[in-house]
Amino acid sequence: MSEVKTVGIVGSGVIGAGWAARCLARGYNVIATDPAPGAETVMASKIANAWPALIKIGWAQTPEPPAFSFTTDLEEVGRTADFVQENAPDRLDIKQKIFVDLDRVSRPDVILASSSSGLLPTDIQDACMHPERMIIGHPFNPSYLLPLCEVVGGEKTSQEAKERAGEFYKSLGMHVLQVRKEVDGYLSDRLQEAIWREILHMVKDGVATTQELDEAIVYGPGLRWALMGVNMTFTLAGGEAGMRHMLEHFGPALELPWTHLKAPELTEELIDRMVEGTTEQAKGRTIQEWEQLRDDCLIGLMQTLRQFDIASGKTLNDDEATKLTVNTERWESGCTVAAPLEQYSGTVLPGWVDYNGHMNEAAYLEACGWAADKLFRYVGIDEAYRTAGKSVFTVETHINYLKEVGVGEPIRITVQLLGVDDKRFHFFHQMYHGQTDDLLCTAEQLLVHVDLNASRACPFEPQVKQALDAVLAAHAHMETPANVGRQMQVKN
């Protein structure tokens, strides 16, 4: 969302610090506030702990988190921020006061969002002068990594505010779920709460330990839920007849006493059992160690799902496509063409690393492919061009692997155009380490322009040929790279 440059974060706890880390990684400025003593230091520590995960998933472009602003003055955040995300304790009286104060000083067009996990936005916005811009933006821990964000409006929230908030969250690489109807606990927490209450009952009744109940999820339904949720999982349980057969077959079980929907009394004895069980499960790891292990596992699952373009993996793919589309320059007549073109910058993703701990051969080509995609878009070969029936196919590729690079390390790729005719173009990638500037690999490619309907080579469209000629002219003075045209051989 182009008008948002500075994000205000109210509250520096786990969720607030997570939002701050995510916003910083995605290029936003952050101004935060929290009245607690030492809050700025705590927030900086939490952001630093999250940063390795943000590097690994490919969002953070710097080895250390950028600086953020901190103030103890809530109204300064309201006056400064273009979007505010509040993360105070989930108490209605606290949130109402915060939003009244923010509403008084913020520009009327600034969206004020709460990370509340269950309070109704109608109640929070009740005393605001501009209630139409107040929404719930409910994330999930870790908020710097998980994609889901539930957007909930109150009775006075405008549809425009909900849509604008959704666009902002999408710019953070999130999957936005617009909740249709204001309801206590929203959607996901109501589902989680049902499982949580059942867990408490089974621990209280001595049916199972906390570890056994977690294993009941981790090794079974949790794996299915990660990609298709509950309803699709049960649809598949019905076989070819789907959900109808599943309900007809298993419906009678709904009458059986399988669950306790009402929570048990939270006695000290039950609390002790829960604490003892989870302490034993922790096996001596600190919370920070568990957070980083959790982050690595989540990234691995999301990257795996990315290969199949489903669930949270599709969110990553959509976000990458958006970056390629929105952040790509387009050639225009008379513009200055960089020599070489800087076509890609990012980090080595976990899925690109092999058993040796370094970027594998196919991953070098994939990264160069993203750079090539940006070149295509630069000269006008984009989705609309392909939909019209024209595209480019690779004829030949030569890659030279020069240096190893590991997961999370920054890379950048330049492209130099070497030759163009009516149907073909020849270009050369050079991949550099983003910090040391060491040359990591080179890739030389020849592509042919194709009529997709006729399945044969054809001349470029005039506007694309004009752009390619302009790039070639700008690159004509550049020295030909040493590896151009290099042949593979064993020298005697």
Burial-class residue 397 by CB neighbours within 10 Å (0-12, 13-18, 19+): middle
State how far Cα 257 lies from the chain centre. Answer: 41
Give the residue with greater pLDDT, 139 vs 234. 139
Closest CA to 137 of 172, 96, 97, 92: 172
Average pLDDT, the chain: 91
- What is the pTM (predicted TM-score) of this model? 0.75
Q: Which tens digits make up the pLDDT trace of 18-31?
A: 999 999 999 999 99
Q: Which CATH number fits domain 189-284: 3.40.1350.10, 1.10.1040.10, 3.40.50.970, 1.10.8.60?
A: 1.10.1040.10
Residues 6+ apart with CB under 8 A from 135: 111, 112, 113, 114, 121, 151, 152, 153, 154, 157, 161, 162, 165
Tokens of 205: 């009744």
Q: What are phi and psi of 402, to 5 degrees?
A: -110, -35
User: 3-class DSSP state for residue 62?
Assistant: coil
At 288 the pLDDT is: 86
Q: How confident is the model at residue 163 (pLDDT cuts 50, 70, 90)?
A: very high
Q: Which CATH number fits domain 6-178: 3.30.565.10, 3.40.50.720, 2.60.40.10, 2.40.280.10?
A: 3.40.50.720
Whole-Å CA distances, 395 to 69, 74, 98, 146, 374: 51, 59, 61, 39, 18
Lowest mean pLDDT among 117-126, 140-149, 282-291: 282-291
Closest CA to 54 of 346, 313, 325: 346
Check: CATH 3.90.1210.10 for 332-475? no
Q: How confident is the model at residue 328 (pLDDT cuts 50, 70, 90)?
A: low
Residue 247's Cβ-side half-sphere holds a number of Cα atoms within 13 Å equal to 6
Q: Which tens digits make up the pLDDT trace of 45-63?
A: 999 999 999 988 889 988 8
Domain ranges of the chain: 6-178, 189-284, 332-475
Q: Which tens digits make up the pLDDT trace of 347-383?
A: 887 778 877 778 999 999 999 998 999 999 999 998 8
For the four alpha carbons of 180, 122, 164 and 86, in that order, the dihedral sign comes to negative
At 1 the pLDDT is: 43
At 38 the pLDDT is: 96
Residue 318's Cβ-side half-sphere holds a number of Cα atoms within 13 Å equal to 15
Lowest mean pLDDT among 37-51, 291-305, 377-391, 446-460: 291-305
Lowest mean pLDDT among 160-164, 219-223, 304-308, 322-326: 322-326
96, pLDDT greater than 50: yes
The answer to whether 320 touches 369, Cβ cutoff 8 Å, is no
257, pLDDT greater than 80: no
